[in-house]
Structure 1
Amino acid sequence: MLDLRFSERELARQRDHITQFIRDRVDAAGADGVVLGLSGGIDSTLTGNLAVEALGPEDVHGLVLPATVSSDGNMSDAERVAQDLEITYDVIEIEPIVDSLLTAYPEAEGDHEAVGNARARARAVLNYLVANHENRLVLGTGNRSEAAVGYFTKYGDGAVDCHPIGNLYKGQVRQLARYMGVPDELVDKTATAELWADQTDEDELGIGYDTLDSILATHIDGPLSVAATARLLEVDEATVERVRGMYERSDHKRNAPPAPEPLG
């Protein structure tokens, strides 16, 4: 696969660039700080670390938002991150909210995708409830790899005020986290959105992050054709085409809802 790792100097520049971005967004909004959801995963862990470095712990409010499908290990890791960062945090169970939605529309019961996305959207509502009450911005925790293939919930984890790590591929997220002192067991843990039981990101995507990052860098964000990408990375052309398809089909998630052009 392609080596997308940063040098030591580039890691320092990325850290400084992102922390300045966070400060600039908060200042521009006249906000008093930020709110972010902590899942115990590496994306939210890195975002929390960057936010604290940018603003100080007193201006960062973490939310741990478990559902019935959330593992005890991940929720414990989420609380551990908040405690290590010395930020204020709240633990709020979201399943009562999801249950109320299914009571209103029981036909969706058992639909993994619909209910999983409802969980993500319930979390977004809570993020903004706290952020609005405290005059804070909601920080997104999405990375460049997942954004490119639409691996996020529209108006769920995609409903945020800014994406501090949105310029980093997944492997670069892990590298920057390790550089900032995040423990190895958090850096290397299996990625999961935990929208339903036993779900993992790579199983759902059907591709490993190293391969996905390399295809995105060379074909989607880079200049190489499908055939040239497949040759360079020693993968099937069908794999490159599938990533291209995910990118094209998820365009609506990355852009504002369209409206017709004004009539002349």
Structure 2
Amino acid sequence: MQTEKVTNHIIDWLKEYATKSNMQGFVLGISGGIDSAVASTLCAKTGLRTLCVEMPIHQPANQVTRAKNHIKALKHNFANVTNITVDLTTTFDQFKDVLPAGESNRLLDLSLANSRARLRMTTLYYFAGLHQYLVAGTGNKVEDFGVGFYTKYGDGGVDLSPIADLMKSEVYEVGRYLNVADEILDAAPTDGLFEDSPSDEDQLGASYDELEWAMEQQERGKTYKDFSGREAEVLRLYHILNTKNQHKMNPIPVCEIPVHLKK
């Protein structure tokens, strides 16, 4: 990949889109992970106003520290960057308290995790409306179009996606070019939505490198039957996730009424 040219292309695209939309800048959530670090740096480099929002919800200290350090570095390097912290822990706990008690299981945990993401989306759009900003997404290509590893109307609810055509490995490549801190580059990716903060690999059952390989193989028309061992296992897992999460990647289905029924 021609990293410098790709980086400049994204920056130009962001600036052009915001200008044509008559918007004043960008707002995005900062998690302490590589995707939000790269996306926020790209937004900052447009020269347009960039608001970085921390939205902790029972967040582990190391994630909070990485997020704060990244924002501090951005503000040092870019005069157009501002930040705010909105601690949503109490809001989330109060939301959870008014819901009917559910049986403690994986489905309940997942539902609450997605609720965290949707609270954060709502918060970002509050600031977007207040300042005439665009909500910039932080999803990469494998997550957004491969395995659907994001929350519908949560972190998937954005105005534009600057890094969604980059594989995870390419996001890291751009991150190194942008001098993203080593503590972020070296951290295990996690969505930060669960109390025990499992890594993305733990949740997905495969590494991003494996999933990128599987995505490429499926695009070539290969199936898990064409491979054996771990490769077959990963490709089968990728196919399952890709199929299950198509509802996130495809447009909302609309029930079209036949013309003769409207007469």
CA gap 1:55/1:240 in 2 versus in 1, 3 angstroms: same
Query: How many aligned residue pairs are there?
Result: 249
Q: State the match for 2:92 in structure 1.
A: 98
Q: Which consecutive residues of structure 2, in runs of 5 or more, have no partner in the other structure?
A: 76-80
Secondary structure of the structure 1 residue equivalent to 2:52 = strand
Kept in 2, the 8 Å contact 1:218–1:229? The answer is no
**RMSD value over aligned CA atoms?**
1.7
Please give the residue correspondences for 1:10-25 in structure 2 after superposition, counting only pairs within 5 Å: 10-25=2-17
User: Match of 1:14, as an amino acid?
Assistant: V
Counterpart of 1:79, as a letter, is: K
Aligned to 2:78: none
Q: Distance in 2 between matches of 1:108 and 1:159?
A: 26
1:185 matched residue in structure 2: 183
What is the distance in 2 between the residues matched to 1:261 and 1:14?
40
Alignment partners' CA distance in 1, 2:67 and 2:226: 37
Trace 1:219-234 onto structure 2 (pairs within 5 A).
Answer: 219=218, 222-227=219-224, 230=227
1:261, distance to aligned residue in structure 2 (A): 2.5
Amino acid at match of 1:102: K
**1:1-264, aligned counterparts within 5 Å?**
6=1, 10-56=2-48, 59-68=49-58, 70-86=59-75, 87-108=81-102, 110=104, 111-147=108-144, 148-196=146-194, 197-219=196-218, 222-227=219-224, 230=227, 235-264=230-259
In structure 2, relative to structure 1, the CA distance for the partners of 1:230 and 1:28 (3 Å cut) is farther
Match of 1:246, SS state, is helix
Q: TM-score, normalised by structure 1?
A: 0.89
SS at match of 1:133: helix
Q: Against the structure 1 CA distance between its residues 238 and 33, is the aligned structure 2 distance closer, same or farther, given a 3 Å change threshold?
A: same
The separation in 1 between residues aligned to 2:16 and 2:242, in whole angstroms, is 30
* Cα distance change on mapping 1:127 and 1:229 into 2, 3 Å: farther
Is the contact between residue 102 and residue 109 of structure 1 (CA under 8 Å) also seen in structure 2?
A: no
TM-score, scaled to structure 2: 0.89
Whole-Å Cα distance in 1 between the matches of residues 224 and 33 of structure 2? 34
CA distances 1:216-253 after superposition (whole Å, capped 9, x unpaired) = 1232xx3141158637xx73423212201211111111
Residue pair 1:35, 1:63 contacting (<8 A) in 2 also: yes
